Amino acid sequence: MNYYQAYRAQNEAVPSMVRQGFYWRLMILGPVGLLFSRCWISFALTACLNVLLVHFGGPYGWPAAIGVNLALALFGAELIGWEKRLKGSASAGLWLGRSEADAQLRFADKMQASS
């Protein structure tokens, strides 16, 4: 079972779910992995940080860039959630599910029961 944070915009019936936890995609691909979640601002900031670290870091530039990728993997859910809030979505709770579709189904059941 995974935890999913629901983000819902004003006119959306179905929320977008962000899985909470470690993101292997961000550990391996680094900032490019943020593009799969359509997080352009986070991608631009972290890519610039990696380029600066590699260019001006000297012999410690690459290990520092790998450290940034580790931080991205650990805090990827927070970055993706921050980007969703910048785009106007609001947090709609934390939902448990085996998959994103299962968590959305639990969210829909709760909303239908409360209305």
- Domain ranges for the chain: 2-114
| pLDDT averages per 10-residue partition of the chain, 115 residues | 92 89 95 93 96 94 95 96 94 92 90 76
pTM recorded for the entire structure? 0.86
Q: Are 54 and 36 in contact (CB under 8 A)?
A: no
Question: Helix or strand or coil: residue 27?
Answer: helix
Question: Average per-residue pLDDT in the chain?
Answer: 92
Handedness of CA 85, 88, 92, 97 (dihedral sign): negative
Share of the chain above pLDDT 90, in %: 82
| Interatomic CA distance for residues 65 and 82, integer angstroms | 22
